[in-house]
Every structure is written in C-alpha cells, then in structure tokens.
C-alpha cells in the first residue's frame, strides 16, 4: 500500500529522499535514521582521515625540535639515502618496474587464458576458478615460505628485484580473476565471438579486437588492483630480501633518526600510488573513448 | 545437434574443415605458471613441514610446545578475534548507514570507492600513519594502549577490516526488501521486533560469513604488525618471518614450514565455513 503512494513532495532530509516518505508513524524513525547516519559518517570519516592527516602533519614538521612547518622532508626524498642502505629513489623505480611487468603478466597471460577458456574450453573454467582463488587461502606469509627455495634457484641466474613479478602475479590473481570474470560475464562473449568468427576473424583478432574492447572497464579495474597491490606489497619482498619501496620505508623506520622523512616518504608512497591509479584510469578512459 | 554442426563448419570463409590443435593447449602457459609459482611453493611448504634436518619423515616440526609457538597461535587467535569482531560490528553499522541512503547518491559512491581502496591498505604505511596519529608522539592522542597487544594493533587493523566488511556486507543489506519491513509493521511489529525476528535472522549467515572472512584476513596480515612491532613475535606470521630472516631462536630450520602449514590449516577451515555460509546467504538475499 505504502509503496503505491506517490512520494510526498516535501522531502525531509536530502538523503532520506530515496526512501518513500510515509505518514506520521514513520516520521520519528526517519529522523532517528538521519541522525544515526550523520553520526556514523562523521565518526568513521574521522577514523579514516585522522591517521592520514597526522602522517601529513609530521611529514611537514621541522627536523629540529617540535612544532613548526617545513617541506624539507619532502624535498629530501629524491636524494634520500637510507642509513646503511641504497637510495630511496631506487626502491621507487624498481617498484614501478615491477608494477609494469605484473600488469603485462595480467594482460598477456591471465586475460587471454580467461577469454579462451570462456569461449573454447569451458570444462576448464572450474579449474581456472579454483587456481585463481587459491591464493586467497594461501596468505603471502605462507606463500613466501615455499617461494624461498624457488627464489634461491632464480637468484643463481638473476638477482634483480624485477623477478618478484612472478610471485606478485600469483598474489594479484584472485582480485584480477574476479574483476575480469565480472567483465566477461557481463557481455555475451560467445555470440560476439561467433559473429566475429563468421565474418572471418582469427581467434587472436576475436580476443584482441572484439572481446577485450568490450570488457575494457573490467580490464582497467584489474590493472588498478594490480598496481595498488604491487605498490603496497611488503611481505614477500621483505622476506626474500629485495628492496622495494615499502621495504625501504620499513628500513627507514628502523634505522633513521630523522622521523619526518619516514612520514613524508610514506605519504609520498600513498600519493604516488594514488596518482598512478588516476593516470591509469584516465588513460584507460581516453583510450576507450578513442576506440568508441 | 544440427545447429552446432553448422556453426562449426561455417566458421572459415573457405569452409575448409581442418583439425586445429586441441583448444586446451592454449591454456598451458597459464597453468604452467600457476603450477610453478603457486602449487609448487605450496607443495614445498607441506613437504618440508614433515621433514627433519637429515631429510627423513617426521612430525616433530609440528611442535606447538616449542617456545613462543603456542603463545603465537593464541596471540593470532586473540588478535584476529578482536579485529574481526570489531571490524564486523562497526563495518556492518557503516554498511547499514550507507545502504539506507540514496542508492545513486554521492555518499554511497564515495563510501564504496573508498572502501575498495582502504580494504587493500594493509601495508607498512598504515602502521606509520597510526604511529603519527596515536603513537608515543601521536598528534591527536598519545595512547598508552598503542603498543599493547592485541588492542593497539587491533585498532590499526580496523582501518582495513571495516572497509572490507562494508564491501562484503553491503550487498546483503541491499538484499533486505522494503516489503519485509512493511509487512512486519503492518502486523504491528516494532523496530526491535523487526530486527529480532526478520532482519537479524536473514542477515545472520551473511554476517557470520563476513566475520570469518575478516578473521582470515587479519590472521594472515603481516606487513602492518611487523611495522608496528618487530622485536616481539606476538602472532604466527611474525614467527614465520623471524624464522625466515634468521634461523636463530628456532631449533629447527623447517619449523617455518610447519608454522606455515598451521596457518594453512586455520585459514582453510575458516574459508570453507565462509564459502558454506555464502551459499546459504545467497539462497535468501537475491
């Protein structure tokens, strides 16, 4: 009955407008709800914002004494040398490179395999799902124990931290899989593929120029998850002894006397990841518009 | 049958029927990669957990009475319980606040997007942010409990547990139909009765499932707790980390693998229950 009623013209609160306003008896409930919502959003907003603000404040602290503002900690990042360690910028560079290579693994290995299985090898779909979601039950701290002997072998041939890409490709697999599976499920891939095939397209053309452009948003999502994960990953890099950005920040926190660089470095790392995500999302949208 | 046959024959413009290599061969590179970097490491961990220093079979690695091991498992359980219960209750309230708003509104879009980012935000930088906010020299609070276990670290964990709860639990709340509430009200039910007899039981499986997911999530977190405290091993992941970095402190090189197997067992139990509850949830809330 109430659902049939036309929505009352005078919306009580902006947010409550979505709920069809009902007469008298619900009015107090709606007011309580509005109060609950404002209190909740304020409290949680503070909880999530304050640590970030605190970090930002300390990153702008003068090195000598407390109080006062200075951007010295930020300007020293490019030339910062970790006590008994390498330059901070080296960690940034290698992290960026790893993110790039892992993205390539996703694009060249995971994505085509998923499309291929979806179109041609349906009986493997369950196996693929199992494999992809398995890392969820194998936390990085467990995986790294088994990876250590494998990386001992790898290090005999190549000692570059870039080799972390293989482990990271596994770490991102569940997230990438779910993002891509959602995209693949949202389009009628089979019909698209049949149409393209009947017009004479080869399978690579079907995947690259028919299916992939149609699930562009999902691909973009999976890449953003990949980048965010790689930039923040610590466990595997640290325990296998590689110096990525987060490992560098950790050693600063343990060795440095000047704490403000730690906070400016951490804030910069977050900012850096954020900017990277914005760039990827922007470039992706540009590319999509270009294609459309 | 006939349809399938025409499809197959009519694909090539020339209509020539030649047998391509079996379609599954295209998946070999991926599965080879997954086997090498996912299945092989898992196998190595399990294999090594049951081997002694000379290579023979043994159960002695799985010694939970070894110094620090038992307390680490208890610590892991305490911390995960605190962080998952807190995260689930607070996250559920936030999710409810989000769900009752405009489904296309700014608040909702912002909350969901922020949750997606923050749920993954469990790195070293998180610990440093809290150090700046409530640590010994904290800007807002010089909390005496900051370095106490498990409360100090549990509060830090909430930073990624609450957003995860919002992501997981929001669809369940969205699944509550307005009609159910109206039906309850037209029968004279109060708000409390609605939640006690309708909403609560409907959301219970989803809530428990999300709780388990959060439990597993805080169980396996490593980076944040190491950045918070790297001298004392409170939880199993820290102990595994210590065993990998230096062999001292543990009497056996393969104890790290045994601890890892212990972790696998715990996480698998939790995740199996989670998937079971997920299936139960989807029966009602669609």
Instruction: List, for residues B213-272, the tens digit of each pLDDT value.
Output: 899 999 989 999 999 988 888 999 998 998 888 755 445 668 888 899 999 999 888 888
- Which chain B residues are Cβ-neighbours of A19 within 8 angstroms? 100
Helices A216-232 and A88-105, axial angle in degrees (round to 10): 150
Helices B255-284 and A140-155, axial angle in degrees (round to 10): 130
* Nearest partner of B276 among B208, B200, B199, B176, judged by Cα: B208
Three-state SS at B142: coil
What are the distances in angstroms from CA A96 to CA A101, A165, A268, B4, B157? 9, 11, 14, 48, 27
For B22, what's the count of Cα atoms within 13 Å in the CB-facing half-sphere?
8
> Counting Cβ atoms within 10 Å, is residue A84 exposed (0-12), middle (13-18) or buried (19+)?
exposed
- Which chain B residues are Cβ-neighbours of A29 within 8 angstroms? 191
Three-state SS at B44: helix
For residue B235, the distance in angstroms to the closest alpha carbon of chain A comes to: 12
Task: Give the separation between CA B85 and CA B80, rounded to whole angstroms.
Answer: 8
For residue B270, the distance in angstroms to the closest alpha carbon of chain A comes to: 9
Q: Which of B132, B219, B235, B266 is the best residue to mutate to test the A interface, defined by the most A CB atoms within 10 Å of its own CB?
A: B132
* Nearest partner of B165 among B222, B80, B92, B106, judged by Cα: B92
What is the percent of chain B where pLDDT is above 70? 88
Nearest neighbour of B23 by CB, restricted to A3, A120, A134: A120
Cα angle value A191/A193/A194 (rounded, 5°): 65
- Which chain A residues are Cβ-neighbours of B42 within 8 angstroms? 138, 143, 146
Nearest neighbour of A141 by CB, restricted to B36, B97, B240: B240
What's the residue count for chain A? 292
Cα angle value A127/A128/A130 (rounded, 5°): 65
Q: What per-residue confidence (pLDDT) applies to A168?
A: 95
What are the distances in angstroms from CA B221 to CA A226, B138, B230? 18, 24, 14
Three-state SS at A61: strand
- Please report, to the nearest 10 degrees, the dihedral formed by the alpha carbons of residues A16, A21, A25, A26 taken in order: -30
Q: Is the pLDDT at B9 greater than 70, yes or no?
A: no
Q: Do residue A254 and residue B140 have CB atoms under 8 angstroms apart?
A: no
* Nearest partner of B103 among A13, A32, A17, judged by Cα: A17
Q: Is the pLDDT at B166 greater than 70, yes or no?
A: yes
Q: Do residue A58 and residue B132 have CB atoms under 8 angstroms apart?
A: yes
Q: Do residue B133 and residue A55 have CB atoms under 8 angstroms apart?
A: yes
Mean pLDDT of B180-206: 88
* Nearest partner of B167 among B223, B121, B221, B123, judged by Cα: B121
Task: Give the separation between CA A111 and CA A24, rounded to whole angstroms.
Answer: 55
- Which chain A residues are Cβ-neighbours of B223 within 8 angstroms? 232-235, 238, 246
pLDDT digit string, tens, across residues B104-142: 888 888 888 888 878 877 788 899 899 888 888 788 888
Task: Give the separation between CA B14 and CA B154, rounded to whole angstroms.
Answer: 66
Q: Do residue A234 and residue B105 have CB atoms under 8 angstroms apart?
A: no
Q: Do residue A109 and residue B30 have CB atoms under 8 angstroms apart?
A: yes
In order along its 292 residues, chain A shows pLDDT tens digits of 344 444 444 433 444 444 554 555 578 878 888 899 999 999 999 999 999 999 888 888 876 656 778 888 888 888 888 877 788 888 889 999 999 999 999 999 999 999 999 998 889 999 999 999 888 888 899 999 999 999 999 989 888 889 999 999 999 999 999 999 999 988 998 999 999 999 999 988 998 899 998 888 889 889 988 988 898 899 999 999 999 989 998 988 888 766 678 888 888 888 878 887 788 777 777 776 766 5
Radius of gyration, alpha carbons of chain B: 25
Q: What per-residue confidence (pLDDT) applies to A2?
A: 40
Cα angle value A101/A104/A109 (rounded, 5°): 125
Q: What is the 3-state secondary structure (H, E, C) of A188-227?
A: CHHHHHHHHHHCCCCHHHHHHHHHHHHCHHHHHHHHHHHH
Task: Give the separation between CA B110 and CA B113, rounded to whole angstroms.
Answer: 5
Share in percent of chain A as helix, strand, coil (round to 5): 75, 0, 20
Task: Give the separation between CA B41 and CA B47, rounded to whole angstroms.
Answer: 10
For residue B60, the distance in angstroms to the closest alpha carbon of chain A comes to: 18
Q: Do residue A18 and residue B260 have CB atoms under 8 angstroms apart?
A: no
Q: Which of A107, A146, A254 is the best residue to mutate to test the B interface, defined by the most B CB atoms within 10 Å of its own CB?
A: A146
Taking CA–CA distances from B4, the nearest residue in chain A reads A194
């Amino acid at each position: 009955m109430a659902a049939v009623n036309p929505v009352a013209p005078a919306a009580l609160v902006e947010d409550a407008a979505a709920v069809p306003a009902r007469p008298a008896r619900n009015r107090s409930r709606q007011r309580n709800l509005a109060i609950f919502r404002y209190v909740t959003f304020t409290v949680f907003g503070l909880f999530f914002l304050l640590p970030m603000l605190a970090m930002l404040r300390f990153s702008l602290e003068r090195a000598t004494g407390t109080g006062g503002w200075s951007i010295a900690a930020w300007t020293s990042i490019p030339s910062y040398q970790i006590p008994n360690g390498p330059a901070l910028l080296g960690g940034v560079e290698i992290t960026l490179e790893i993110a790039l290579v892992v993205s390539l693994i996703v694009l060249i290995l995971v994505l085509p395999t998923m499309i291929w299985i979806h179109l041609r090898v349906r009986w493997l779909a369950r196996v693929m799902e199992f494999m992809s979601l398995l890392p969820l039950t194998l936390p990085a701290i467990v995986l790294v124990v088994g990876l250590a002997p494998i990386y001992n072998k790898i290090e005999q041939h190549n000692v570059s931290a870039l080799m972390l890409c293989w482990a990271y490709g596994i770490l991102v697999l569940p997230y990438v899989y779910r993002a891509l599976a959602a995209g693949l499920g949202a389009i009628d891939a089979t019909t698209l593929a049949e149409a393209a095939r009947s017009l004479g397209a080869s399978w690579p053309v079907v995947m690259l120029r028919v299916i992939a452009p149609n699930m562009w948003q999902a691909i973009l999502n999976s890449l953003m998850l990949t980048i965010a994960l790689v930039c923040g990953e610590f466990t595997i890099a640290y325990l296998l002894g590689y110096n990525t950005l987060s490992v560098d920040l950790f050693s600063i926190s343990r060795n440095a006397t000047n704490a403000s660089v730690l906070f400016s470095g951490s804030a910069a790392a977050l900012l850096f990841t954020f900017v990277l995500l914005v760039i990827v999302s922007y470039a992706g949208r540009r590319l999509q518009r270009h294609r459309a | 049958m006939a349809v399938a046959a025409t499809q197959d024959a009519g694909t090539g413009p020339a209509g020539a029927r030649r047998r391509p290599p079996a379609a599954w061969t295209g998946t070999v590179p991926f599965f080879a990669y997954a086997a090498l970097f996912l299945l092989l490491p898992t196998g190595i961990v399990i294999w090594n957990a049951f081997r002694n220093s000379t290579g023979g079979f043994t159960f002695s690695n799985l010694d939970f009475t070894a110094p620090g091991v038992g307390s680490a498992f208890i610590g892991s359980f305490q911390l995960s319980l605190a962080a998952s219960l807190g995260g689930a209750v607070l996250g559920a309230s936030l999710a409810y606040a989000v769900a009752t708003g405009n489904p296309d509104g700014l608040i909702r879009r912002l909350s969901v997007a922020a949750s997606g980012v923050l749920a993954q935000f469990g790195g070293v930088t998180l610990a440093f942010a809290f150090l700046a906010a409530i640590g010994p020299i904290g800007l807002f609070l010089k909390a005496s409990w900051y370095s106490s276990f498990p409360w100090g670290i549990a509060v830090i964990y909430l930073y990624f547990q609450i957003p995860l709860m919002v992501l997981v639990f929001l669809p369940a709340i969205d699944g509550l139909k307005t009609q159910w509430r109206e039906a309850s009200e037209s029968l004279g039910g109060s708000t409390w009765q609605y939640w006690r007899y309708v909403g609560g039981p409907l959301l219970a499986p989803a809530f428990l499932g999300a709780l388990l997911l959060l439990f597993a999530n805080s169980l396996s977190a490593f980076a944040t707790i190491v950045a918070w405290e790297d001298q004392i091993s409170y939880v199993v992941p820290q102990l595994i980390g210590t065993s990998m970095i230096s062999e001292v402190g543990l009497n056996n090189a393969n104890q790290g693998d045994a601890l890892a197997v212990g972790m696998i067992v715990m996480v698998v139990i939790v995740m199996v229950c989670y998937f079971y509850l997920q299936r139960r949830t989807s029966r009602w809330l669609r």
